[in-house]
Structure 1
Amino acid sequence: MIDRLFAKPLTDSTSVSLDLSATNLDLLPSIYGNASAFNAYIEAKIGDKIGYGGYLEHRVIYETYANFETSSADFRNIHLGMDFWTTAGTPVFAPLDGVVHSFMVNDGAGNYGPTIILHHPKANIYSLYGHLSMGDLSQLEVGMPISAGQKLCHLGNQTENGGWPPHLHFQLIRDMQGFQGDYPGVCAKRDVDFYAHNCPDPASFGIV
């Protein structure tokens, strides 16, 4: 497939589908419950390739973070975007013409860290880029035009991206619902019908 986000083809030799779902029996609590072990797991799975996947994936890993808990027995654990796992500092390119809608640093363990949201008027869609490098926000202004293929940002390291192994969380959003610089990237199972419509599969837009 041609991935507009990384401006190059993602082939069998350069990428690998990554399963982080609850059905992956290799992803044990001792791995997803430990940041160092999880980082080592990701590195072992992808090697020098780009790992990708995760749209509407049920991930138990979120149940280790308090900010994903909705009640004593319920969590937001359905992933609403697509993740791309590779090395910190990897550049990311805008897939469509648009303008900067908003940006901010979403602090906290398990959160997005530096985040950018673009609006694409012609496609009538928004795109969110999470877990970025802190320096990517310094030159942005709301309303700034962004061209398709323009270098937009870089993958952040674990000290700035919410504590995750370096990766891009990419998500499409139809209605921002008033959010600025942030939008839920994970939902509870009871809300999946709404979010699956409001956050469509990036593959349906030909972006990946």
Structure 2
Amino acid sequence: MNTENYNIFLNEISEKPLPVIDVEISFNSYIDISLSESNNDLMSFNTSSSEEWEKYITSFLEKSNAEIAFGGYLEKRNLYDRSDYFKNQLENEKRNIHLGIDLWCKENTKVLAVLEGEIHSFKFNNNYGDYGPTIILKHEINKITFYTLYGHLSKESIQNINVGDKILQGDVLAFLGDSSVNGDYAPHLHFQIIKDLQDNCGDYPGVSSSENIDFYKNNCPNPNLLLKL
């Protein structure tokens, strides 16, 4: 299936937005945010500090009278420069293009399964700047198999779960972690769609280099095809 038809398939799964965050938070309380290299506000604080990030996100939400800030698909970001985890020796291989949607809100916020599926894998990805606790769900719709990844969760979210556990759409899958476990970020969810996991378990690249973006753009469709934010 080509990219255009695959995107149509994802978009037609639901006419309505599919929640990935606690449904008690109204969609009217969502606001989009840019964390791209063109956002000059990011020059006003130390982006290597999770405390400064949390202050920035909290202030942004308060000024906007919102509870969740979202965005970031294919956004080119400088914030990954703080971690060697995203750097290769060649400049054009530096990974700084974001492949999912981030939803920034308070720690311990409920994370919901966007679609019915089963737990494919889970892992504590504890590199500096990494996902922290992560869950990947496997879905099969109209004989098409694909995956959704939920990153930056609490450690408790990956306890007492098992590969193969059945998950219903809308189930409380997890809770958001704080900076001590989530890769040293302000609390947020990284949500990503993946067509081919390439034999990964509990982890998959959430940031691409410019060199590899064509592959990842095809393999990781826009999550907003499901979320419709």
TM-score of Structure 1 vs Structure 2, range by shorter chain: over 0.9
Please name the residue that 2:47 is paired with: 32
Structure 2 matches for 1:54-203, cutoff 5 A? 54-71=72-89, 73-74=91-92, 75-122=94-141, 124-203=145-224
Tell me if the contact between 2:119 and 2:165 (Cα under 8 Å) persists in the aligned partners: yes
Pair 66,166 (structure 1): closer, same or farther in 2 beyond 3 Å = same
Identity %: 39
Tell me if the contact between 2:17 and 2:226 (Cα under 8 Å) persists in the aligned partners: no
Aligned length: 206
Tell me if the contact between 1:5 and 1:207 (Cα under 8 Å) persists in the aligned partners: no
Taking the aligned partners of 2:22 and 2:50, their CA distance within structure 1 comes to 30
Question: Normalization by structure 2: what TM-score?
Answer: 0.85
SS of residue in 2 equivalent to 1:184: coil
Question: Normalization by structure 1: what TM-score?
Answer: 0.93
Please name the residue that 2:34 is paired with: 19
RMSD (Å) for aligned C-alpha atoms: 1.7
Q: Which protein is richer in helix relative to its size? A: 2
**Structure 1 unaligned residues grouped into runs of 5+:** none
Deviation, 1:109, is 1.2
Pair 17,204 (structure 1): closer, same or farther in 2 beyond 3 Å = same
SS of residue in 1 equivalent to 2:79: helix
Pair 61,186 (structure 1): closer, same or farther in 2 beyond 3 Å = same
